[in-house]
Chains A and B, each alone.
Chain A
Amino acid sequence: MNFPPIHAQSTYSVGNIRALMNEIVACLEKLDRDDEIGMIDLNSLPFSPGEYEALRQTLGQGEVSIRIEAIGPSEIIETHYPGVWWVTHYNVEGDIVADAIEIAWLPQIIRSQPEDVRAGLARLKAQLNDQD
């Protein structure tokens, strides 16, 4: 049988990227105007194979990239568009457990948490007492 040439379908887009970019624009305007944080949960979008990677390329990588180690790594990068952060949480096996675009001055997870600050302070004091 003579099949016509097979084209890889991985670059096929079902239109998610354009819709997402429009939403990001709306979120950035809100951040600038009303100081309002926006988030887009990428896990709930029906990406076609290749579309996710295409979104990565479209948003690109900007000036900041941060790595957190908390029950597995988290990667936070500011994209090519300031205020548009890509926040990906992995478990220790390297599977993605949460993946979102956060439109914010600074993603929530980066700040030290008051509970952790208090616990750290107690540890520091105990260490000082031990040395006395």
Chain B
Amino acid sequence: MTAHESLGERLIQQGISRRAFLKFCTAMASMMALPPGSAMAIADALSKTLRPSVIWLSFQECTACTESLTRSYSPTLESLIFEMISLDYHHTLQAAAGFSAEKSREDAMHNAYGKYLLVVDGAIPIKDGGIYSTIAGRTNLDLLQEVAKGAAAIIAVGTCASFGGIPNAKPNPTGAVAVSDIIKDKAIVNISGCPPIPAVITGVLAHYLTFGELPELDDLGRPKSFYGETIHDRCYRRPFYDQGKFAKTFDDEGARNGWCLFELGCKGPTTHNACATTKWNGGTSFPIESGHGCLGCSEPNFWDAGSFYSALSMPAGALKLGTAAAVAGVAVGAAVSVANRAKKQAAQSAHRTATIADLKE
């Protein structure tokens, strides 16, 4: 496996048809919240892209982030995602162990210094010199600082790497912190969630490969295309919220009628993530659709933010909602794709091929 051949060349070698690749890019466009018509342009850009070297460091974590990603698609589509990158170091997935594993990390760093992507899952303990989590005799803190130096960008996968997550929850015995608490001089994308939505992980990777830069971020460093709206903004139970129809227990009439779970502790109104539309398990459903409120796992300090089952203390009025807003919500949802299309007309035109530059506009 070499990092120097383009993705297009690799696919041809493996007998993957352009049409199959186009299908994959259609799924990618949808993940990246780009207009679906942009698949062709993405396919063109991706097939010419050189596969970047990726070093994946796992610190204080439970491996659910890796599980989320590797179980995101069937083996064949998933392997296509891994074809897009040269994954040179990942504890859980690599065959190498011990000294040879650490050597592969050093080699990857040396060969692509300044260019590799660093993916981190897990928080970093810094109390007592960081001794509470070590790999090959070195503290997580030390490893992160060393590997971050040569990285083009850092992707913090999961709430632990993004905000400290559960290791950072009270009383935080190990002094766990987020990547961004330690590294201050690199571009960092936070893909929060416990675990994060697999499509968001692959969507961010695809964005970086397609456009050669990280996607636009919100004030907490999360990609806006996935974290721009709250669960509540896109929740299909929202009309019930606006009508004041709330389930009061998990088995009352309201619960059975699918009413809003706000009073049962739903954190949807303050949680930014794409679960309500992207959903889970291959698009099957998401927690609220299964009858349980949102836990708010993609927000900082979600574990310490009070009981999962007590209603948010914020007054409902502060959300600036009403029946009018709910109706507007639906209209806005549809209008977004119209606006997108107007803006990205180039991508949609039957006669002009959209380029990556068009999509960047």
Contact = CB atoms under 8 A, between A and B. Distances in A.
Interface in B252-296: 252-253, 256-258, 276-278, 282-283, 289
B331 interface: yes
A102 B26 CA distance: 12
A37 interface: yes
Interface residues of B, number: 55
Contact of B331 (A3, A19, A43, A48): A19
Given A46-B234, A49-B289, A108-B22, A19 B40 contact: no
Contacts of B76: 71-72, 91-92
B22 A91 contact: no
Interface stretch (B113-121, B158-166, B303-311, B333-341): B333-341
Contacts of B283: 43, 95-96, 99
B62 interface: no
B239 interface: yes
A28 to B, nearest CB: 13
A116 B18 contact: yes
Q: Is the interface of B mostly helix, strand, loop or mixed?
A: helix
B101 interface: no
Contacts of B23: 68, 70-71, 74, 89, 97-98, 109
Contact of B337 (A7, A23, A97): A23
Contacts of A45: 277, 333
B238 to A, nearest CB: 7
B33 A119 contact: no
19 contacts: A4-B253, A16-B330, A23-B337, A26-B338, A35-B350, A36-B349, A36-B350, A38-B348, A39-B35, A44-B33, A44-B278, A48-B237, A48-B258, A49-B236, A92-B76, A97-B77, A108-B40, A109-B22, A116-B18
Interface of B: 12, 16-20, 22-24, 26-27, 29-30, 33, 35-37, 39-40, 73-77, 80, 234-239, 252-253, 256-258, 276-278, 282-283, 289, 327, 330-331, 333-334, 337-338, 341, 345, 348-351
Interface of A: 3-4, 6-7, 9, 12, 14-16, 19-20, 22-23, 26, 35-41, 43-49, 51, 68, 70-72, 74, 89, 91-93, 95-100, 102, 104-105, 108-109, 112-116, 119
